[in-house]
Structure 1
């Protein structure tokens, strides 16, 4: 699972966006809100190509691991203020609830 940083761990949170910089001491951050956001039952943000584009436009970084997000927070001295919010690909989430027990040409090919 990948992670983004937010000001709180519940719905309607504001996400931290950053201006790119090679020096962590000169990084500036702001909080932004996504316009169209969906959550799964565990509070993770469900993303699709439109959401990824919005992340890029707003400057919201996506961290591959919680440990790399934590390392970034410690460098900015935001550790006590930010929360980790998981992000999941929307299609993968939908397929978790798809029942493949019925016979079809597609399931027949996979036996």
Structure 2
């Protein structure tokens, strides 16, 4: 019994370390292969995704200075809309100002 516990105490951390190391290596290699190597800029970027249901998702893809809205499902991708790409800070500022306008409108329109 003692021999079994000794082997377990040695091999279990060894196997856990090998799993951790292989995951780190896979992550590093995936980043290098996905970008096409060091220093290369990506031409396609997934800006945002939103899950609609377990099999359906909306995605905004930035390509060549354009934002493309697509729906993806098990059957494939469907192009929905396209517009000029805005900088993310401009889009966030615009969304905040619209939200503030709606909040102000709500407070002014319905006195309590």
TM range (shorter): under 0.3
**Whose Rg is larger?**
2
Structure number with higher helix proportion = 2
Structure number with higher strand proportion = 2
The answer to which structure, 1 or 2, has the higher relative contact order (CA under 8 A, 6+ apart) is 1
